[in-house]
Structure 1
Amino acid sequence: MASRGGFMVTGTNGADYEHREKIAIQYQLSALNKSRLKYCVFFHHVLFLVMVAKLSADILDKLDIFILEIEELQIPQPLWWEYIWCISLLLSFIGLAALKRNNIKQLRRYMYGIAILGFGPLLYCLIYYCGDVWRYLTKDEDEDSSEIDIELWQGYPYGLLWYAFVFLASQVHFFQLYFSFNLLKAWRARGALRKSD
């Protein structure tokens, strides 16, 4: 106000009111972590589309739809963990609803769901393909991959492709849990400040 030529108290330039314009740290952290968690949810959706592309041959077979181009890819049959991991996408809607309402209880459910339906199937995948990946990584350069009993898809070791997916998905899930935990701390701090007022 003083800078616009209005009334000004003698001995001040109006800068003494700057402290009122500061945003409390818990609100800054909440806004920052909400934004980051939304990016993680977006990447979760991208990975879901990759998984659906992999499962498309099996889904189309169950619907009795025949598409020659997809059948020619000879995509290996899916395992149950792939479908269970796909269910983890539904958790993103719980997480986004929690962000909209700053709901601690829903955010906790989201975190537990990601730990169980996100990390659980990925851990199973790591264990299931561990033998194939180990055989592929320790084989001699002279040996042919077909002689060693390694499952290949389009000339690439199938287990190693899954390990790449697990690496990306576990990073996304880790950051989802990390930003959710930071949000819980910020929201609890805000609640504690309200109670003390």
Structure 2
Amino acid sequence: MASRMTMAQALGTDGSDFTHRQRIATQYQMSATNKSRLNYCIFFHYLLFVVMLAKLSPDILDRLDIFILEIEELQIPQPLWWEYIWSSSLLVSFLGLSAIKKNNIKTLQRYMIGICILGFGPLIYGVMYYSSDVWEYLTIGKTSEIQLWKDLPYGLLWYAFILVAYQVHSFSLLFSWKLMAAWKARGSRKYD
């Protein structure tokens, strides 16, 4: 639609000279962008939790005395304690969602601490626990002395999961850090 000259406009302008005044402050742009990115990271955290829950389901069903033949035939190895601790990091994600919704710096800091303890801590333990099996498989190539699941090295499967989880948690911390910086910049301008 073409712009027409009206009596309310100044002579010699088409009315588009106001665009320089419609800029969004940088901290608000950063806040919106990083909120969206952190939401994606939390979504991927939920997807990883579903994968972990599928791995833990035989043990959970055994503890509840529920027998499902198809799951038992998969012969999934018994879980270690670090898998349950990592699964509890899902609860921390609700802090992150709450912080995003309310722009609360304290809640976001708690989310970041929770991800460091419940997210990265178990992953580091998993890397150390399976390091000898992965090293033996990658250097020697023998599978006779390492744990296998469906003819695949179990430690290497965990390393794939740990790599993805590490990336998700790292990006979550990065976007949380940028959100805190944007929110603090907004607060400092208000007091000036």
Q: TM-score range by the shorter chain?
A: over 0.9
2-side partners of 1:49 and 1:16: how far apart? 52
The aligned residue for residue 191 of structure 2 is: 195
- The equivalences for 1:51-90 within 5 A come to 51-90=52-91
2-side partners of 1:80 and 1:29: how far apart? 38
The aligned residue for residue 165 of structure 2 is: 169
Unaligned runs of 5+ in 2: none
* Match status 1:181 vs 2:182: no
2-side partners of 1:77 and 1:151: how far apart? 12
8 Å contact 1:3–1:14 — kept in the other structure?
Answer: no
* Match status 1:151 vs 2:138: no
What TM-score, normalized by structure 1, do the two folds share?
0.92
The aligned residue for residue 108 of structure 1 is: 109
The aligned residue for residue 24 of structure 2 is: 23
2-side partners of 1:125 and 1:102: how far apart? 34
1:44 is matched by which residue type in structure 2? H
Greater mean deviation of Cα atoms: 6-15 or 173-182: 6-15
The aligned residue for residue 41 of structure 1 is: 42
Deviations along 1:158-190, one digit per CA (max 9) or x if unpaired, are 000000000000000000000000100110111
SS at match of 1:129: helix
CA shift for structure 1 position 5:
2.0
CA shift for structure 1 position 4:
6.5
Aligned-residue Cα RMSD (Å) equals 1.5
What TM-score, normalized by structure 2, do the two folds share?
0.94
Report the number of matched residues: 190
1:93 is matched by which residue type in structure 2? F
1:159 is matched by which residue type in structure 2? G
2:155 is matched by which residue type in structure 1? G
Deviations along 1:106-162, one digit per CA (max 9) or x if unpaired, are 00000010011000000000000000001111115xx5x22xx10001100000000
2-side partners of 1:155 and 1:55: how far apart? 20
2-side partners of 1:4 and 1:110: how far apart? 54
SS at match of 1:43: helix
8 Å contact 2:5–2:14 — kept in the other structure?
Answer: no
Q: Identity percentage over the alignment?
A: 63
SS at match of 2:65: coil
Structure 1 pair 133–14 and aligned structure 2 pair: CA distance change class (3 A): same
